[in-house]
């Protein structure tokens, strides 16, 4: 099963030129991945290219249907550390 893009996509074009299989289409209301072409970058790159540059958490699902960028991946702060990080930031 291929990667897919959800409606939280902001159409920023970052993923489109990176896809080694040219599986990403600029479409409205949001970009789409052609499931027939997507290889998950298998054999091409260590990481799926679209998900590695996507600036929106949860906008791309992997072949298992799970968010390729889960909550916390955008900021680098996992949900369980959020409260502590917030306290530290607000003390600045």
**How does DSSP classify residue 67?**
B
Please identify which residue in the block is written with the tokens 């791309």: 60
Per-residue binding letters, 1-40, with other proteins (x by CB under 8 A): -------x-xxxxx--xx----------------------
- Residue 24 β-bridge partners: 33
Count of beta carbons in the 10 Å neighbourhood of residue 65: 9
- For other proteins, give the closer residue by CB, 64 or 91: 91
Binding site for other proteins (CB under 8 A): 8, 10-14, 17-18, 45-47, 49, 52-53, 55-56, 74-77, 85-86, 89-92
């Amino acid at each position: 099963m291929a990667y897919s893009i959800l409606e939280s996509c902001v159409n920023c074009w970052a993923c489109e030129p990176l896809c080694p299989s040219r599986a990403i289409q600029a479409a409205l209301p949001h970009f789409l991945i052609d499931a027939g072409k997507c290889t998950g970058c298998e054999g091409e790159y260590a990481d799926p290219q679209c998900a590695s540059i996507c600036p929106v958490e949860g906008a791309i699902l992997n072949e298992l249907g799970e968010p390729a960028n889960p909550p916390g991946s955008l900021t680098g702060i996992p949900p369980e550390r959020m409260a502590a990080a917030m306290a530290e930031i607000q003390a600045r």
